[in-house]
Amino acid sequence: MNSKVLAENILRLVGGETNVSTLVHCATRLRFKIVDHGKVDVAALEALEGVITVINASGQLQVVIGNRVPEVYRAFGAISKLLEDGDGKRQTAESEASTSAMGRLIDLVAGIFTPLLGAMAAAGVLKGALAIVIALGWLNTKESTYVILHAASDSLFYFLPMLLAITSARKFETNIFVAVSIAGALVYPTIQGLFDAGQPVTFFGLPVVMMKYTSSVIPIIFSVWLMSYIERFLNRHIHESVRNILTPFFLLVLMVPLTLMTIGPIGISASKLIASVFVSIYSFNPIIAGALIAAAWQILVIFGVHWGFVTVFINDLSVMGHSYLKAASSPSVFAQSGALLGVMVRTKDKKLKALAGSTFIASLFGITEPGVYGVTLKLKKPFICAVIAAALGGAIVGYAKSSAISMGMPGLLTLPIFYGEGFIGFLIGCAIAFVASFVLTVIVGFDEPTQPAESTPAPTHSPTTTPAAPVSRQQANAVPLPLKDAPETAEQLGSPAKGELILLEEVNDKVFSSGVVGLGVAILPQEGRIYSPVDGMIASTFASGHAVGILSQKGAEILIHVGINTVQLEGQHYQMHVAEGDKVTKGQLLLEFDLDAIQKAGYDTVTPMVITNAEEYRVFSLGAARQQQAGETVIALA
C-alpha cells in the first residue's frame, strides 16, 4: 500500500479530518490528538496493511508504522489541511510534554540529547575504527592522516559543552548564541590553561575553583537553564529599543563568571559523583548488573523511561571516557533481533512473516521499536524470550567488563564504538543473546494471530481500546477551582497585563461570560501592554491586532482578547509585536495598545484570557478584585 492510500485509510478510520485536533509524528509513529475517540475504529486501523500497531497513551492515539512515518506524514498534507500549520503546533511530537514530573524529565533529556546522538554515533564509530586500525598496525598516531581523522572523531566530544548549549538553549527557549558563547568560554584555551597551570585564580578578589570543562555535560545544561530565567527577567525590565544589545551583554557578564565560580565546579563534582556511584554499583557484581540492565532495557524503552539512563551514559563518557552501562544495555537489541527472526521462521501467517522480516532487518541496525510494538510484544512469548536471552548476554558483557567509547544505537554499524577492553566478550554476549532468543522463540512458540479480513472494514465507531472519557463541555464551563488547590505539576499561566483581575462571568460579552469559548479570567488593564502568560508559540494573530492566540509548550490553547468588540477599530491603536509561528517566552511583550484612545472611543478595555481547550484540563484560577502585576500566576492547568 503506497503512502497516500495508507494516509487516506488512516484518516478515514480515525474519524476524518474534523475529528483530528493535531497530527504530529516522531521516528516511528503518527500521533493524533483526537476530538471524539468514539469515532475511531482501532480494530480496523490495526488491520491496515502498513500499520504495525495502535496505542492509546498520553492523551494521544499513536499509530505505529515504522520507518515510513515521514513519507506517510507528508501524504496527509496532500489529502487534508492537517499540516497547514507548518512548523506550528503540528510539527513534532516532542513539543507535547507530559504533565507529570517524570514525563517532563524524559521530555527534557530527550530534547537535549536526541539531536546529538546521530553525530555522536558517527564520531564514535570513527573513533573505534581508528583504534582498530592502530591495533592492526595500519597507521600510527604520529602520522598526519591519523591526526586529521582523530580530530574529526574527537572534536564533538571535546567541544560537547558547545553542542549541548545549542540543544539546551532550544529546549529552555533562550538565546542560542549567548548560550554557545558561555560554553565557548568554558573550553576557551586560555581558561583551560589556567586549569592546567594549577595556580590560584580569582575574579575581582573572589576565588575561582578551576575545572576542566572539555567534554563536560552537567555544567552547561544548568548554566543555560539558569540563563533562561535571567534572560526573561532582563527582557521584562529592559526597553525593547536596546534589548537586543543589553540583554546579551548582561547575560555574558553574569553567566560566564557565575558558571566558572559556582555552577561549573558543582556540576563537575556532581558528574563525578554520579559516575562513581553507578560504577561502584556495577563493579560490586558486573555479571548481575549486566544481566539486569540488559533484561530491563527493552522494557524501559516501551515506557519511554530509558532516556533517564541516556544522561548517565553520556555523563560516564564525559567523566571516564567510556561507559560500562551503555555496553550492558546492548545485548537487549540483538535479543529482539533474534526473536524477530524466530517469529519469521516459525509463523505461517504471511503478513506476520513479512512484518517480522522487515522489522528484523531494521533491528540489526538498532531500530527495535517497530519490531517490539508490532511483533514481539504483541505476541508476548517472543518478547519474554528476548528478555531472558538479553539477560544472558548482558551477564557475559558484564563479566568481560566491556564498555562503550561513544553513544549510538547498538547495531552492526556501531560495533566499533565498543572496541577496547572486553570487546571480544561484548561480541560473544551479543551473539549469544541473538542466538538464544532465536532458539527460545522457535522452541517456545507463540499463538498465531487471527487472519484479518481481506478488505479493510468501514468504521464501526467501536474502538477495541476505550480511552478515558474526555471531560464534557458542560464540565469545562463550570466555575474554575481555587488556584491554591492546584497541584505542583500544574502548568502556570501568568497575568498577561498589569491590572485588576475580574471573574470571566462578569465580562460584558456573552461569548466570554457564558464560557462557550472556554474557561479563564479577565483583566482590566492599567497600561497598554500585553505579555505572554506562558512559554509557547503564537498560534494565531489578527489583522486588527486586538487578539492573539498562543499554544503553550504543554498543549494549552490560550486566547487573549484585548477589549470588547474592539475588532471594529480595524487595527487602530494596536501594535502587534509577534507573528504566527513565533516562539515566545513567558513575560515576552506580545502587543501594545493605546489604552486611553480605546476608552475614549467608547470601548470596554477589559481583556479576557481564556483556555479554548479547557475541556482537556482541570482549571484553577484566582478570585476577582485583585490587583495583578504582569506575569503573576492567575491560572493553573492540570
Identify residue 127 by its one-letter amino acid code. Answer: K
- C-alpha cell of residue 373: 510494538
- In whole angstroms, give the CA distance from residue 470 to residue 63: 20
- In whole angstroms, give the CA distance from residue 299 to residue 341: 19
Choosing from 1, 5, 26, 481, the catalytic residue is 26
- C-alpha cell of residue 512: 466570554
Looking up cell 544472558, which residue turns up? 392
* Of 479, 33, 599, 100, the residue nearest 303 (C-alpha): 100
Identify residue 187 by its one-letter amino acid code. Answer: V
- C-alpha cell of residue 1: 500500500
Burial 419-446 (b: 16+ CB within 10 A, else e): bbebbebbbbbbebbbbbbbebbbeebb
Neighbours of 473 (CB within 10 A): 12
Identify residue 74 by its one-letter amino acid code. Answer: R
- In whole angstroms, give the CA distance from residue 531 to residue 496: 5
Identify residue 135 by its one-letter amino acid code. Answer: A
Give the up-direction half-sphere exposure of residue 458: CA atoms within 13 A in the CB hemisphere. Answer: 0
- Alpha helix segments (H runs only) across 137-217: 144-158, 160-172, 176-186, 189-197
In degrees and rounded to multiples of 5, residue 88 shows phi and psi of: -85, -135
- C-alpha cell of residue 233: 527577567
Burial 118-133 (b: 16+ CB within 10 A, else e): eebbbbbbbbbbbbee
Looking up cell 505572554, which residue turns up? 532
For the chain, how far is it from start to end, CA to CA, in angstroms? 41
**Bridging pattern class, strands 619-621 and 633-637:** antiparallel
* 470, 79, 579, 574: CA torsion to nearest 10: -80
Neighbours of 100 (CB within 10 A): 12
- Alpha helix segments (H runs only) across 445-531: 473-476, 510-513
**Bridging pattern class, strands 201-203 and 583-584:** unpaired
DSSP annotation string for 375-397: IIHHHSHHHHHHHHHHHHHHHHH
Neighbours of 508 (CB within 10 A): 11
In the residue annotation, 26 being an active-site residue is answered as: yes
Asked whether the beta carbons of 486 and 638 are under 8 A apart, the reply is: yes
| 254 sits in which H/E element | helix 240-258
- C-alpha cell of residue 407: 553513544
- Annotated catalytic residues are 26
